[in-house]
Structure 1
Amino acid sequence: MSQFGKASSKRGKPTYAYAIIGVSLVLFLFGIVGWFFLNLRKTADYFKENIQVQCFLNRDATPKKIDSLKTYVTALPYVKSAEYVTKEMAIKKFEADNDTTWRQFIKSNPLPESIDFHVAADHVQSDSLKAISATIEAAFPGMVAEYKFPDEIVSKVGGFAKMMFIVVLVAAIILTILVIFSIDNTIRLAMYSNRFLIKTMQMVGATRWFIAKPINIRAVINGLIASGIAIALVWGVMILVESFRPEFKVLRDNKSLILLFLGIIFLGITITLVSTHRAVIKYLRMKLDDLY
């Protein structure tokens, strides 16, 4: 008789293992898509910030003015790095990409000095770069002979980045909706198997809060466990991919990853808690005959 009571009590206890596994897998999928989105954005930023902008200087520019211009450009908040390229450095860069047969016809160095710099990804747009040019020209009038950047490449990279951002954003929104519904259905199925336990507690006089409180607490714990499993899986996939493709390490943004992992935890806890509470309230409001 005592064995029967133990067996029935075990069957009456809520089983959360399958729910935790199901939620973990859904959150893992969400995390992988989020990681892909971060890599895509970082890749676009990487290409943008490698686009070089050149300020070719007038031949009568003095070393003092050149130094002042370089200091000014470097201090601009949207400039990532700046370099003063002398005539000798310019000719070496040119010869690294081209042959040296020109020396047979031209004895002197025809290349001008320049200030070469790279700007932050958010400012790699034709309008922004032209505005930077106007700012430099206003601060040092008549010192820059020509302001040059690959306008066509800037436009193509910017257009591609915008298109991919929109595509991934739409996919992320759709996936988020699917994640919410998937987790909600998983939790509701888990609670369905315990509907008689919930109703029995109500029938013996337990209040709604008394019944819901421990189940809600358990839901938060389950959400944390599922989120932890999902984060561990995402991190494992990241390390595995980076071990085969080391270039992915360059794209890793730890701050964005922390935000992604916090998002997974928030999503896991919130949806699990809300879905569990809704299911408990639903079964408390139902009549006993409707549970069959």
Structure 2
Amino acid sequence: MASSFEKFQRRRIISSYFSVVLCIFIVLTLLGALGLFVINTDKISGYVKENIPMVVYFKREANDTVTQAFGERLKNSGYIKDYKYVSKEDAVKNSPDLMEGSEFLEGENPLLDNYEIHLKSAYVDKKHIKDIEIELRNDPYVGDVSYDNVLVDKANENINAISYWILVISGVLAVVAMLLINSALRLSIYSHRFTIKTMQLVGATKTFIRRPYIWKGIQLGLLGSFFSMIAVTCLAYWLDGVFPELHLWADWIPTAIVLSGVLATGIIIAAISTFFATQRFLNLRTDDLY
């Protein structure tokens, strides 16, 4: 009978430890994923902004020398991320719908030579784009400069709004993480409440009683954090494959910061929660344990 009871107790302890590790893993993985987004917000916003095109159209009298010189000018500009020259012949090839009518094929090509430009993210706002547009229009061979004003404004507004709400959600999730992990560890310590009180009754100090439980809590925190770090690393690797422009893997320092934060959070919350859980049972009267 005693052996059967011991096995039952052992299974119950293992089950409670598993619940704690699982809770820590889930919560820290969510926090880590959110941390990856927060710490790479500038990259994400930059990627969105730098994919908004500006098109510079030339007048018909502009020749190859003019367009090549304009390209050199763009190359030396500090606000240009990349640019691509599209001749009017290439523009026709890229617009198959325009080639369907015989009238278009027989007449003069109505399309214009142009440069498709992508600006650096720091210059994708209303003020900078307007200044760049004025500068480009001052060229006597530039006929028009086209870009989507509404898209630029919406991109900046949405990025600011998303960044704000991500910070709010991160704060809320951090609090929820502490509460969930604390609750799981308290339930784990609850099964040892009689052992804690017995040790206290025979004269053991509170520090002596708390020490092994805090160490066990730290071990559980380390285990949950370790699995969470693996999950976050896999997530970063997957995102780097889907969005290689963000360079999540090449620029490993932000990812390393997030992983270090996950590890530290798991250890600190586990240690603090275990401390207060054991303290609660140490301060209870014997009659209150039942």
- 8 Å CA contact 1:231–1:261 kept in 2: the answer is yes
Aligned amino acid, residue 48 of structure 1: K
Residue 72, structure 1, aligned to residue 73, structure 2: no
Measured in 2, the distance between the counterparts of 1:30 and 1:187 equals: 19
Measured in 1, the distance between the counterparts of 2:158 and 2:8 equals: 61
**Shift of residue 24, structure 1, vs aligned partner:** 2.1
- 8 Å CA contact 2:221–2:266 kept in 1: the answer is yes
Alignment of structure 1 residues 131-280 onto 2, 5 Å: 131-133=131-133, 142=139, 145=142, 146-233=144-231, 247=242, 253-254=248-249, 255=252, 257-280=255-278
**Shift of residue 81, structure 1, vs aligned partner:** 1.9
Aligned to 2:126: 126
- 8 Å CA contact 1:184–1:275 kept in 2: the answer is yes
1:105 to 107, 119, 127: 107
Task: Using the TM superposition, name which of 53-62 and 203-212 deviates more.
Answer: 53-62
Aligned amino acid, residue 287 of structure 1: R
Is the alpha carbon distance of 1:104 and 1:64 closer, same or farther for their aligned partners in structure 2, counting shifts above 3 Å?
closer
Percentage of pairs with the same residue: 23
SS at match of 2:76: helix
Aligned amino acid, residue 53 of structure 1: M
Measured in 2, the distance between the counterparts of 1:289 and 1:262 equals: 43
**Shift of residue 235, structure 1, vs aligned partner:** 5.6
**Shift of residue 264, structure 1, vs aligned partner:** 2.6
Measured in 2, the distance between the counterparts of 1:238 and 1:67 equals: 37
Is the alpha carbon distance of 1:217 and 1:67 closer, same or farther for their aligned partners in structure 2, counting shifts above 3 Å?
same
- 8 Å CA contact 2:196–2:281 kept in 1: the answer is yes
Is the alpha carbon distance of 1:144 and 1:227 closer, same or farther for their aligned partners in structure 2, counting shifts above 3 Å?
farther
**Shift of residue 63, structure 1, vs aligned partner:** 7.0
**Shift of residue 72, structure 1, vs aligned partner:** 1.5
Question: How many residues of Structure 1 are paired with residues of Structure 2 in the alignment?
Answer: 277
Is the alpha carbon distance of 1:68 and 1:26 closer, same or farther for their aligned partners in structure 2, counting shifts above 3 Å?
closer
Task: Using the TM superposition, name which of 176-185 and 45-54 deviates more.
Answer: 45-54
TM-score (norm 2): 0.71
* Alpha-carbon displacement from aligned partner over 1:242-264 (angstroms, at most 9, x marks no partner): 8xxx8467777334544443333
Which ranges in structure 2 are unaligned for 5 or more consecutive residues? none
- 8 Å CA contact 2:193–2:289 kept in 1: the answer is yes
* Alpha-carbon displacement from aligned partner over 1:109-160 (angstroms, at most 9, x marks no partner): 7624x543323445432233224446x56xx964673443221222233334
Aligned amino acid, residue 285 of structure 1: N
**Shift of residue 226, structure 1, vs aligned partner:** 0.7
Measured in 1, the distance between the counterparts of 2:17 and 2:263 equals: 18
Aligned to 2:17: 16
SS at match of 1:117: strand
SS at match of 1:82: strand
- 8 Å CA contact 1:57–1:143 kept in 2: the answer is no
Aligned amino acid, residue 76 of structure 2: Y
Is the alpha carbon distance of 1:8 and 1:90 closer, same or farther for their aligned partners in structure 2, counting shifts above 3 Å?
closer
Is the alpha carbon distance of 1:143 and 1:226 closer, same or farther for their aligned partners in structure 2, counting shifts above 3 Å?
farther
Aligned amino acid, residue 253 of structure 1: L
